[in-house]
Amino acid sequence: QVQLVESGGGLVQAGGSLKLTCAASGRDFSIRTMGWYRQAPGKERELVARISSSGTTNYADTVRARFTISSDNAKNTALLQMNSMKPEDTAVYYCRVTTTTVYWGQGTQVTVSS
C-alpha cells in the first residue's frame, strides 16, 4: 500500500506561481510514474504532467512551457512548478502514482483569480 500526501495548493493571481508537492510513502514499492491530473467543475479529470522513473516527462499542451514537473526518486517525491498561471488552471489537482497499482491522492484546490 502506498500513501500519498499532497501540498502546495491555494489561491494565486493570474500570472503568478504555485508549487505542488506529492510525497509517496509505504513499504516495498517501486514507483514507475508520478504525475498530476486536474479536474475543473463540470469537466473530466485530465493529465497535467507526469514523469517516469527514468525522467521522461509528458505535459498537456495547455500547460507546456508554463509548468515543470520534477521528481526526487530517493525521496519518492514529485514537484509541479506552475508559472504564468491562468484562471483556466483553476481546478482540483490530484497526484497519481503508479507502481504495479495506481494510487491517487485526495486532491488539492488550486484557484487562479483574474
Question: Stretch 88-108: mean pLDDT, rounded?
Answer: 97
Residue 87 pLDDT class (50, 70, 90 cuts) = very high
Per-residue confidence (pLDDT) for residue 73, from 0 to 100:
87
Q: By C-alpha distance, which of 84, 109, 105 is closest to 34?
A: 105
- Tens of pLDDT along 34-74? 999 999 999 999 999 999 999 999 999 999 999 999 999 88
Q: Say if residue 28's pLDDT is above 90.
A: no
Q: What is the mean pLDDT of the chain?
A: 96
The residue count of the chain comes to: 114
Question: Stretch 83-95: mean pLDDT, rounded?
Answer: 98
